[in-house]
């Protein structure tokens, strides 16, 4: 039996306060093991005397929660180490970026997300239908995302083939990868609009450095 995993993360909220809403889907053929890549990542943390903690990009960038006692240089090393892990993982991803001001109400945003995810599935229908099961991992954090995913995936793929699993980023490295890629795509939107600010500049550098060293590396995993 061939199984496909889809890990979901989002950035932004359903209110008009957020300028952007990012939906990211990380796609992994479970027949391709990732244990060796994860072990190498964890060894790199140990050799650099860095803590092996679940990756959460927002608190890492801002020095909150489990990153509160870490110096900026340590947090930058953690970010670089996780970026290297993503580079070697056998995954693909798609991200959908929405400007919140372009949607007069949340229902229109949900419809757009459903349409975009459906189009992605249809464009790669042979690939997705080649699996016996598609396991959808999402923490059910936002109702509009859950609704859009349910309607798009279940209307495009066989309902019997879709298995929904609730998860948290602390349980699965690939959920953390979805969080990382969501942050990269949000950063790309902000750099393009010249809204990057001091925190992004500190961790990613200027727009040239960001595109070359971060965005380009991530986009190599893009589901074309």
What's the pLDDT score for residue 158?
74
pLDDT range class, residue 171, cuts 50, 70, 90: low
Q: What is the largest CA-CA distance in the chain?
A: 50
User: Which pair of tokens denotes residue 212?
Assistant: 């070359």
Exposed/middle/buried for residue 133 (C-beta within 10 Å: 0-12, 13-18, 19+): middle
CATH of segment(s) 3-219: 3.30.420
Three-state SS at 205: coil
- Distance (Å, whole) CA 25 – CA 117: 9
- Distance (Å, whole) CA 120 – CA 135: 17
127-133: average pLDDT: 93
Domains of the chain: which residue ranges? 3-219
User: Which pair of tokens denotes residue 9?
Assistant: 């993360």
- Distance (Å, whole) CA 182 – CA 97: 9
Question: Using one digit for the tens of pLDDT, what is the confidence trace for 1-43?
Answer: 899 999 999 987 555 567 899 999 999 999 999 999 999 999 9
Question: Using one digit for the tens of pLDDT, what is the confidence trace for 79-110?
Answer: 999 999 999 999 999 999 999 889 988 889 98
- Distance (Å, whole) CA 40 – CA 25: 24
């Amino acid at each position: 039996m061939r199984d496909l995993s889809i890990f979901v993360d989002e950035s932004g909220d359903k209110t008009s306060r957020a300028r952007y809403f990012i939906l990211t889907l990380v796609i992994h053929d479970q027949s391709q093991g990732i244990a060796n890549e994860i072990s190498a990542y964890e060894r790199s943390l140990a050799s650099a005397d860095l803590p092996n903690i679940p990756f959460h990009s927002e608190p890492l960038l801002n020095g909150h929660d489990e990153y509160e006692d870490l110096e900026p240089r340590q947090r930058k090393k953690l970010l670089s180490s996780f970026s290297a892990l993503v580079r070697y993982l056998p995954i693909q991803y798609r991200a959908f970026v929405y400007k919140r001001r372009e949607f007069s109400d949340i229902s229109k945003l949900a419809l757009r997300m459903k349409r975009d995810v459906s189009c992605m599935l249809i464009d790669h229908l042979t690939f997705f239908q080649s699996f016996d099961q598609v396991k959808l991992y999402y923490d059910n954090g936002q109702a509009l995302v859950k609704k859009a995913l349910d309607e798009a995936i279940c209307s495009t793929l066989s309902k019997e083939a879709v298995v929904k699993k609730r998860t948290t980023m602390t349980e699965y490295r690939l959920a953390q990868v979805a969080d990382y890629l969501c942050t990269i795509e949000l950063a790309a939107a902000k750099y393009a609009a010249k809204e990057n600010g001091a925190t992004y500049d500190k961790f990613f550098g200027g727009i040239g450095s960001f595109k070359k060293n971060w965005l380009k590396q991530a986009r190599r995993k893009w589901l074309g």
